[in-house]
Amino acid sequence: MTEEVRMETKPVAEGAIVAGKTEEKLEELGDGVYAYLQLDGGWCLNNSGIIVGSDSTTVVDTAATMRRATLLRDTVTRLSARPVTTLVNTHHHGDHCFGNCVFGPETSIVAHDLARAELAAGGLALQKMWPDVEWGEVRLRLPDVTFPQQITVHQGGHRIELIHVGPAHTTNDIVAWLPGSRVLFAGDVVMNGVAPFTLMGSVQGTLAAIERLRALEPDSIVPGHGPVGGPELLDHNARYLRWIQRLAVAGKAAGLTPLEAARRADFGEFGGLLDSERVVGNLVRAYAEVHGGERGEPLDVMAAFGRMIEFHGSTPTCLA
């Protein structure tokens, strides 16, 4: 019997904001450590972290639109009057960093070296995928502190270890690990109830990253998208990615394209995951790795998105 992944959400917290079919919710995970969840976790509905220390606050990831980023900032302000001095971007995708601009110049933004370069190169291109979304007047704000492997932020009594684990979801994934409370903010390296996505990173690399995260022995894991869970999330994500690898090997042997292999796939336990069209992008990456491609090597991302749209039958819904 396969183990169940924690899919249920707790009752909506008092003061939670309901926006259409989505909700923003705050969940306390430790002393001064909070997960800020944008449910249901579909495209561009990511999670953030709020870490309140004795003299300052750290925020992990922002949001895709000005409205949602402002809701996050206002939640931080309600939690504590202590200023946000550090903002961590777990990677360069817009749903995790477009909202950087709602925080003031007193806030330092920390990310991996490659995250700054990728964000500068890609700019606001994500907005072109969903032109009908009300993005607001997003002003691109790049990280101003970057690092190659690992740094530690000592913030008001909290030790926050920022660890590069990519290529995984992207080339520049970092996680924020709080050993004191055993809380892991995993960014998009880990999902819950949402299909993992490795097109811009590596299937092999994500599996390796999951083992690194497992070695930390976290009690609580805040995924990039979906509800908070525990170590079982690592198991579920790993099973999905190994399934992708098996599909890729069999598809290549049968002479199928990634789209054809996706259409013939038996999704089994993964049939209920949100954003299932990501299977095509994942197979594009897995096919490249079957060929011996390097982890994180550039692929034609827009062509792969086109095949994902074809699989889905239309552009996937984005409720940002």
- Going from N- to C-terminal start, the domains of the chain cover 17-312
| pLDDT reading at 10 higher than 50 | no
For residues 66 and 136, the answer to whether their CB atoms sit within 8 Å is yes
Q: What is the mean pLDDT of residues 107-118?
A: 98
| pLDDT reading at 6 higher than 50 | no
Q: Tell me, what amino acid is at 164?
A: H
Q: What is the mean pLDDT of residues 139-148?
A: 98
Burial 58-75 (b: 16+ CB within 10 A, else e): bbbbbbbbbebbebbbeb
What pLDDT score was predicted for residue 21? 52
Place of tokens 């894991």: 221
pLDDT tens readout for residues 188-201: 999 999 999 999 99
Q: What is the mean pLDDT of residues 307-318?
A: 97
> In terms of pLDDT, which residue wins out, 11 or 178?
178
CA torsion sign for 293, 297, 299, 301 is: positive
| pLDDT reading at 186 higher than 80 | yes
What pLDDT score was predicted for residue 305? 97
| pLDDT reading at 57 higher than 60 | yes
Q: What is the mean pLDDT of residues 88-116?
A: 98
Q: What is the mean pLDDT of residues 287-296?
A: 96
Least confident of 19-28, 48-57, 124-133, 187-196: 19-28
What pLDDT score was predicted for residue 23? 83
What pLDDT score was predicted for residue 22? 64
What pTM did the predictor assign? Answer: 0.93
Q: Which residues have C-beta within 8 Å of that of residue 176, sequence separation ≥ 6?
A: 49, 60, 88, 90, 160, 161, 162, 184, 185
Percent of the chain past pLDDT 70, that is, above it, reads 93
What pLDDT score was predicted for residue 7? 27
Distances (CA, A) of 310 to 174, 268, 278: 31, 21, 11
| CATH for the 17-312 domain, from 3.60.15.10, 3.90.1300.10, 2.40.420.20, 3.40.640.10 | 3.60.15.10
